[in-house]
RNA sequence: UGUCCCAUGGUGUAAUGGUAACACAGCGGUUUUUGGUACCGUCGUUCAAGGUUCGAGUCCUUGUGGGACAACCA
């Protein structure tokens, strides 16, 4: 049976071209990074698209560095990019550089000038920008637009020979200053940059711009489909215009098509912002395991397969998107579950003494390496009287939902004995220092005895005190607290940084890990997947947490521990998000009627902390919609209203204004604030409301 | 007050004029020497209004909402 897989819209375009006579042998793609930063998971989508297409159609894919700006580009980035693409498992056909085409581009340019389609402009960038107009107003011609061809040729020659300083002269294509598309209003082809280039050194002092390079590079390489992200859509006209200047009809005409960049929740995905995190030391570097860079994910413990799988199931489209990071995590958990050896590691140790086990006895127990993989084999784990177990796995008393160790209760020590807790020792502060227990000495795992077959509800992991190895463990969490930290126009994305994104602890692990090498991946049983860090050695083991295991006990605990009203407020936040997305008042009103009963249940103390933390639009709106029904009483709530009045989002501002003007006291307190808003407000609707209230 | 692009469950994507589906997340359960995995179940979707058509998520019109475009960046 043939499974028919649906095609994404890029594949459909290719199929169409093939159907229209394009020879599949001519198919060729390229991945064109600028070497000015590290590749991230968003680039991975593009890499997987292009190289995936190459594999699917058996077509070559070039790795071409788009290196036309010597000010920003460095060899370090070239090396990192090559390493990352290769690590993902892709093989490029040719390694190429746009800078290799500088001479060809120059020669073509001279022809374009001779054809009267380009001119040298000697104005300042401010003047040029001014003449360019805006997206809503057409541009006007500058004074150099009609310079005679001979003069342009001479001036361009002078540019090339260093006769102008940076900023004094540029070469422009002569297209149409009134064009709807700003990129067509006589775009810049060359600028003077007296900087050494990482490959061409000091050969050139003029450098071509992106548009006048990219399509021509595609053409020279005979790329058929030049795929890029959506923000280049409006460059397509120019791409085609330049191509028309140089292309001959017997050659393949490359085709630019655009797809949406891949965003992931709780992180940022722009090189500029990632660079900022690196430069401002908010992370340890481009390969910090919290970074969404390929190198960061690699150090975190992600595999090439998991990233390729993610790109495949996330898909390709033209819609703005924020993919749930849980999907990425699913991909790595799914793979590691099948491949990662299991080991025992205690992250937060508490001592356990088996009172009825001989003090000098040591046993070597057998443990399965991976229950999902029979070929993974077994290993030996030492056992003795004194062990460490996870602090959270013991409670003096607990209800019957807690099926770990408690006084008088039984639990299985993984791969070892069933034990029963008897008593505890405590320090002067009342903290438990030791748990005493009794083992059922007939119950050893794998011994085959009747007692060994006994079923107890809980199984916990452990390490032998004498044999335990101290290890540094880095527990990583999401870098940002907000789903889309850079989606808030008025708030800097760094405001959302999660202060607890890294917790470094000392853990105790079983001795088998002593032989682990950097990059080795393990499942620390019941805890998560961990990867030996680049700097891990047998003298100082270091493990990075890639991702935790699904923890249904934590969920259960959260349910009972959190105040009941939390759930109401969480629902209100979700509804507030919908309210922001709603496109008509009917929808908004029905959401309000859902919120009303919930709002009255919200715990005021919970609310106070939530209001204090609210930064994102939906969190602020949730607060407002709750207060709308509960009324404003505390100083915190009043402060929150004042803060909301300052938000730029229209729905939020309107809601805040409405709440303010229906409360006489609030109205009085915020009178000057409202007057300020009135002065700056553009919406006549909002102005009218404020004016009415103020009089 | 311009041009272009986009709009399908909470999220990401399918459905190519013919039964709105898959995955993740959520919720409930079964199994379990990992509260993992696996398995089963469950929740929930076509922005709006008109039009074309036997039939519209898909085509057309208008509207609404979101995004891109004014670097000597790519």
Q: Block means of pLDDT (10 residues each) for chain A, length 695 residues?
A: 73 95 96 97 98 97 98 95 98 98 98 98 97 96 98 98 98 97 98 97 98 98 98 97 94 95 97 96 97 98 98 97 98 98 98 97 97 96 98 95 96 98 97 97 94 94 98 97 86 92 98 98 98 98 98 87 65 80 73 82 81 79 88 87 78 83 88 80 72 81
Whole-angstrom distance, CA of residue A645 vs CA of residue A628: 14
CB-based contact A261:A229 (threshold 8 Å): yes
Residue pair A11/A257 in contact (Cβ under 8 Å)? The answer is no
Distance from residue A550 (CA) to nucleotide B26 (C1'), in Å? 13
| A83 annotated active-site | no
**Which residues make Cβ contacts (< 8 Å) with residue A415, sequence separation at least 6?**
A365, A366, A367, A368, A381, A445, A446
Q: What is the distance in angstroms measured between the alpha-carbon CA of A68 and the sugar C1' of B13? A: 36
Pick from A508, A470, A524: which is nearest to A343 by CA? Answer: A524
- Quote the pLDDT of residue A420: 98
Neighbours of A659 (CB within 10 A): 21
Kindly give the pairing relationship between strand A528-532 and strand A541-548. Answer: antiparallel
Between the alpha carbon of residue A401 and those of residues A398, A557, A564, A567, the distances in Å are 8, 10, 19, 21
Is A692 a residue of the active site?
Answer: no
Angstrom distance, A620 CA to B45 C1': 27
Question: Measured CA to C1', what is the nucleotide nearest A578?
Answer: B10
Burial level of A182, CB count in 10 A (0-12/13-18/19+)?
middle
Q: Which residue is nearest to nucleotide B65 (CA to C1')?
A: A583
Comparing every residue's Cα with the C1' atom of nucleotide B3, the nearest one is A180
CB count in 10 Å sphere of residue A138: 14
The whole-angstrom separation of Cα A470 and Cα A507 is 6
Give me the catalytic one of A132, A195, A261, A643.
Answer: A261
Protein residue at shortest CA distance from C1' of B13:
A315
Torsion angle of the four alpha carbons A319, A496, A493, A473, in this order, in degrees rounded to the nearest 10: -90
Cα–Cα dist A1/A150, whole Å? 68
**How many residues does this entry show for chain A?**
695
Cα first-last separation, chain A: 76
For the CA of A555 and the C1' of B42, the distance in angstroms is: 19
Angle between helix axes A564-581 and A585-601 (nearest 10 degrees) is: 170
The overall longest dimension of chain A from CA atoms, in Å, is 102
Measured in angstroms, what separates residue A559's CA from nucleotide B10's C1'? 19
Phi and psi for A119 in degrees, rounded to 5? -150, 155
Query: Which CA-bearing residue is nearest the C1' of B72?
Result: A191
Measuring from the CA of residue A549 to each C1' atom, give the nucleotide at the shortest distance: B36
Q: Closest by alpha carbon to A565, among A534, A590, A599, A589?
A: A599
> Catalytic: A319?
no
Closest residue to B1 (CA to C1') is A136
Residue A369: partners with Cβ closer than 8 Å, 6 or more residues away? A341, A342, A376, A377, A378, A379
* A271, A299, A414, A610: the active-site residue: A271
Task: Provide, in whole angstroms, the distance separating residue A258's CA from nucleotide B60's C1'.
Answer: 25
Helix, strand, coil percent values for chain A (each to nearest 5)? 40, 20, 40
Q: Give the DSSP per-residue string, A516-572.
A: --TT-EEEETTTEEEEE-TT--SSSEEEEEEEEPP-HHHHHHHHHHS-HHHHHHHHH
In this complex, the nucleotide whose C1' atom is nearest to the CA atom of residue A483 is B11
DSSP A288: -
Nucleotide nearest to A371 (CA to C1'): B37
The whole-number Å distance from A233's CA to B25's C1' is 32
Output the pLDDT for position A43: 98
B4 nearest neighbour residue (CA to C1'): A234
What are the start-end ranges of the H helices in A535-683? Answer: 552-561, 564-581, 585-601, 604-613, 617-630, 635-645, 650-661, 664-669, 671-680
Q: Strand A410-413 relative to strand A418-426: parallel, antiparallel, unpaired?
A: antiparallel
Structure tokens at A224: 């058929």
**Cβ–Cβ under 8 Å, residues A191 and A206:** yes
Nucleotide nearest to A271 (CA to C1'): B74
Nucleotides of chain B in contact with protein CB (under 7 A) are 1-8, 10-16, 23-27, 33-38, 47-48, 63-74
pLDDT value for A570: 76
d(CA A669, CA A485): 32
pTM for this structure? Answer: 0.91
Q: One of A11, A34, A386, A557 is an active-site residue; which one?
A: A34
A586 HSE (CA, 13 A, CB side): 0
């Amino acid at each position: 049976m043939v499974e028919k897989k649906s095609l994404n819209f890029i594949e459909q375009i290719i199929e169409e071209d093939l159907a229209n006579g394009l020879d599949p042998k001519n198919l060729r793609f390229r991945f064109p990074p600028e070497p000015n930063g590290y590749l991230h998971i968003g680039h991975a989508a593009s890499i997987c698209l292009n190289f995936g297409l190459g594999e699917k159609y058996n077509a070559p894919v070039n790795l071409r560095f788009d290196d036309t700006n010597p000010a920003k580009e460095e060899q370090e980035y070239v090396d990192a990019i090559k390493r990352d693409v290769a690590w993902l498992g892709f093989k490029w056909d040719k390694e190429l550089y746009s800078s290799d085409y500088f001479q060809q581009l120059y020669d073509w340019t001279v022809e374009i000038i001779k054809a009267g389609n380009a001119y040298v402009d000697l104005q300042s960038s401010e003047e040029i920008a001014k003449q360019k107009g805006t997206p809503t107003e057409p541009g006007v011609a500058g004074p150099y637009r009609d310079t005679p061809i001979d003069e342009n040729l001479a001036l361009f020659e002078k540019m090339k020979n260093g006769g102008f300083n940076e900023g004094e002269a540029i070469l422009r294509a002569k297209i149409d200053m009134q064009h709807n598309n700003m990129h067509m209003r006589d775009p810049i082809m060359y600028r003077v940059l007296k900087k050494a280039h990482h490959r061409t050194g000091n050969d050139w002092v003029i450098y071509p711009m992106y548009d006048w390079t990219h399509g021509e590079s595609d053409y020279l390489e005979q790329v058929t489909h030049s795929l890029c992200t959506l923000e280049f859509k409006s460059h397509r006209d120019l791409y085609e215009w330049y191509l028309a200047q140089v292309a001959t009809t017997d050659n393949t005409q490359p085709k630019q098509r655009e797809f949406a960049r891949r965003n992931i929740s709780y992180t940022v995905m722009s090189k500029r912002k990632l660079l900022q995190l690196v430069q401002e030391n908010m992370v340890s570097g481009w390969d910090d395991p919290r970074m969404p860079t390929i190198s960061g994910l690699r150090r975190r413990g992600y595999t090439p397969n998991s990233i390729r799988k993610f790109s495949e199931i996330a898909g390709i489209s033209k819609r703005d998107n924020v993919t749930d990071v849980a999907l990425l995590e699913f991909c790595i958990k799914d793979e590691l579950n099948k491949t990662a050896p299991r080991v025992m590691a205690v992250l937060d140790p508490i001592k356990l003494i088996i009172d009825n086990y001989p003090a000098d006895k040591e046993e070597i127990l057998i443990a399965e390496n991976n229950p999902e993989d029979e070929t993974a084999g077994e290993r030996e784990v030492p056992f003795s009287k004194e062990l460490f177990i996870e602090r959270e796995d013991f409670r003096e008393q607990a209800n019957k939902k807690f099926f770990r160790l408690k006084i008088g209760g039984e639990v299985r020590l993984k791969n070892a004995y069933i034990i029963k807790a008897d008593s505890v020792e405590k320090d002067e502060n009342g903290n438990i220092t030791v748990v005493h227990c009794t083992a059922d000495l007939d119950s050893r795992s794998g011994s085959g005895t009747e007692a060994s077959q006994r079923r107890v509800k809980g199984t916990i992991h452990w390490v032998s005190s004498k044999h335990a190895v101290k290890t540094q463990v880095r527990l990583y969490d999401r870098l940002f607290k907000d789903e889309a930290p850079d989606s808030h126009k008025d708030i800097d994305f760094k405001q959302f940084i999660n202060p607890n994104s890294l917790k470094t602890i000392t853990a105790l692990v079983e001795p088998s890990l002593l032989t682990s090498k950097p990059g080795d991946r393990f499942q620390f049983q019941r805890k998560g997947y961990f990867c030996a860090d680049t700097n891990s050695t047998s003298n100082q083991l270091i493990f990075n947490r890639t991702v935790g295991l699904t923890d249904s006990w934590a969920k259960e605990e959260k349910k009972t521990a959190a105040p009941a009203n939390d759930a109401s407020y969480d629902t209100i936040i979700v509804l507030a998000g919908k309210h922001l997305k709603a496109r008509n008042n009917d929808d908004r009103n029905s959401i309000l009627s859902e919120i009303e009963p919930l709002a009255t249940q919200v715990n005021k103390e919970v609310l106070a902390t939530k209001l204090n933390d609210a930064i994102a639009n939906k969190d602020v709106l949730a607060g407002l919609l709750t207060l709308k029904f509960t009324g404003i009483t505390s100083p915190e709530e009043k402060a929150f209203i004042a803060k909301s009045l300052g938000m730029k989002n229209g729905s939020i501002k309107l809601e805040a204004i409405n709440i303010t003007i229906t409360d006489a006291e609030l109205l009085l307190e915020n009178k000057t604030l409202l007057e300020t808003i009135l002065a700056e407000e553009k919406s006549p609707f909002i102005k009218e409301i404020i004016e009415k209230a103020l009089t």
